[in-house]
């Protein structure tokens, strides 16, 4: 049975879903041609769903919500013209947004350090999942 990783971090992400998604929308509008061609409401929904899945993983320790989300979204982004490298960079940017939030909200350095460590572990797994889906997509092409 999965073990909760960091309930404080999960709550922090859930509380800031809208601002995290808004920051990512601004980022992809400037840096991702593949996302610029997509419906803005769909892009927003995708970022909200990513952060909800991230919060669920951090809250429960179960990677299934993130894997499910990525298996639905990544193939669509690849078909829209994004490369695997683009998507890994996007994951890094998503992580950076949460790291900045942690630093701003943590009550103590130990709390920030613990949350950063937990997020990094989860995001490393996210990168692996993205890479796996990309390889499958390349094999199917």
Domains and CATH numbers, the chain: 7-140 (1.10.490.10)
- Residue pLDDT, tens place only, 11-60: 999 999 999 999 999 888 888 777 777 788 888 999 999 999 999 999 99
Q: What is the pTM of this model?
A: 0.91
Which conformational region is residue 61 in: left (phi greater than 0), alpha (psi within -120 to 50 degrees), or beta?
A: left
CA dihedral sign of residues 44, 104, 129, 55: negative
Q: What are the backbone dihedrals phi and psi of residue 138, each rounded to the nearest 5 degrees, phi first? A: -65, -35
- Cα separation, 51 vs 14, in Å, equals 7
């Amino acid at each position: 049975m999965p073990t909760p990783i960091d309930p404080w971090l999960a709550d922090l992400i859930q509380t800031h879903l809208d601002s995290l998604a808004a920051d990512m929308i601004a980022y992809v509008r400037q840096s991702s041609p593949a996302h610029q061609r997509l419906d803005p409401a769909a892009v927003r929904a995708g970022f909200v769903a990513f952060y909800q899945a991230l919060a669920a993983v951090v809250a429960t320790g179960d990677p299934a919500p993130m894997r499910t989300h990525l298996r639905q979204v990544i193939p669509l982004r690849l078909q829209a013209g994004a490369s695997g490298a683009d998507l890994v960079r996007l994951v890094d940017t998503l992580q950076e947004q949460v790291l900045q939030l942690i630093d701003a909200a943590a009550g103590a350095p130990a709390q920030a350090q613990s949350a950063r460590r937990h997020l990094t572990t989860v995001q490393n797994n996210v990168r692996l999942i993205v890479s796996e889906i990309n390889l499958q997509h390349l094999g199917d092409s």
